[in-house]
Amino acid sequence: MMSNTLLFYGVSFICVGHLFLLIETCNYPSDLQSAVWEDSQKGSLTYTTNQMTGYTYSSYSSGSSIWNCFLIDGDYVVSKATGTINLFSAQYDVYICQKFTKITSFSYSYYLESDVQSNANNDRLNVFPTGNSVTVSQACAKTMDIPTEEFHVLVKNSNIADVKQWFPTPLLGKFEYTKVTAAGVSSCGSGSVWDDCTNRTTMSINMTQCSSVVAFSQGVTYCVTYITKGSTYYVVVVNPGIADGTTYFRFACLAVSQSGSTVTVVEKSGSCGAGQNTSLAGTGGAKYTMTPYETCPFTTDSPSEPSSDIGLIIGIVVGLLVLLIIGAVVGYCIYKKKKNQIYDREKKENANYLQGSRPPLYSGISS
């Protein structure tokens, strides 16, 4: 009897332990693991299989930069901060919910699916009493929709050159530009060159002609991704050069609009922000008014557009091959028909010849 009781409790303990492991196991997406990633909002982040470091928050004299993977549901990734915060003499756990969109294996965009917390430096996060069971829907709860333009990007530190995407149509050109700072200081202008045509994924500024800093870079940035809201494009670019956090930043968001041939760009360091537009106020950057020397648009903004030329070439080649095969078959049929006609004619001629040359037949015995 005692042995059966021990067996029962032993099996129960193993089952509960196994269930606990199933519930608690959470690993970050495989692309993120074992690498350093540059975040457009938080800077350098280090991912292991199930932990992220570098994403700093602070609230009520508490905070953390270390997070553990907590729950994943499709594109939603919930992380839980190590440590707790004290609210009204009670301990609370802190969660962030990121809704990821994969751009490449080395770049992602994401939205933070929580409300802005004024007591946490306006970070988007959720808190729950320590010990409470928390679901994905709870960790990702919000009372207001996230503005379309308020998104962030992650770029793998070792593969910055591999994340390039095409710029949207309004930026596909070589432009003369005038820069105006928030203080009203104007620079560049006649002869300046902003080039997104030589390489439609790379913005190159002629720093010799005008040395004023553009997009918080040394003159070269890569397009990471963009979204649209109404007639405004929100383009995130990454600076592959120096990023000192003062003059030069790793990321910039360009709000872009077009009227006729004139393109207006307003820059902001880091991620695109709620309410950002092509007015200068509040961005901390500069405004650019651009007129094209030339444009180089695709027929659409879709990055798959150049492949249509390849498809056309393949179609032409296949069509020619089909025509050649048909021609060969028809030629062979004509050849066979002609050969048969010649054979029939020769056969008939031979038959006539044999009949005309045959010696006469005699009946009876010759004398």
What is the rounded distance in angstroms from the CA atom of residue 255 to the CA atom of residue 251? 13
Q: Which residues contact 27 (CB under 8 A, 6 or more apart)?
A: 33, 49, 50, 69, 72
pLDDT of residue 81: 98
CA 217 to chain centre: 21
pLDDT value, residue 140: 98
Ramachandran class of 26: left when φ > 0, alpha when ψ lies in -120 to 50, beta otherwise: beta
* CA nearest neighbour of 127 among 45, 66, 144, 117: 117
Class of domain 169-295: mainly beta
DSSP 289: E
The predicted pLDDT at position 356 comes to 52
Instruction: Rounding to the nearest 10 degrees, give the CA dihedral for residues 13, 16, 17, 23.
Output: 180
Amino acid, single-letter form, for residue 66: I
The domain limits of the chain are: 11-158, 169-295
Token reading at 51: 């932990």
Cβ atoms 69, 77 nearer than 8 A: yes
């929100």: which residue's tokens? Answer: 234
Note down pLDDT in tens along the chain; length 367 residues.
445 544 444 444 444 444 343 455 899 999 999 999 999 999 999 999 999 999 999 998 899 999 999 999 999 999 999 999 999 899 999 999 999 999 999 999 999 999 999 999 999 999 999 999 999 999 999 999 999 999 999 999 999 999 999 999 999 999 999 999 999 999 999 999 999 999 999 999 999 999 999 999 999 999 999 999 999 999 999 999 999 999 999 999 999 999 999 999 999 999 999 999 999 877 789 999 999 999 999 875 544 433 444 555 556 656 677 677 777 766 666 666 766 666 566 556 555 544 554 444 334 434 3
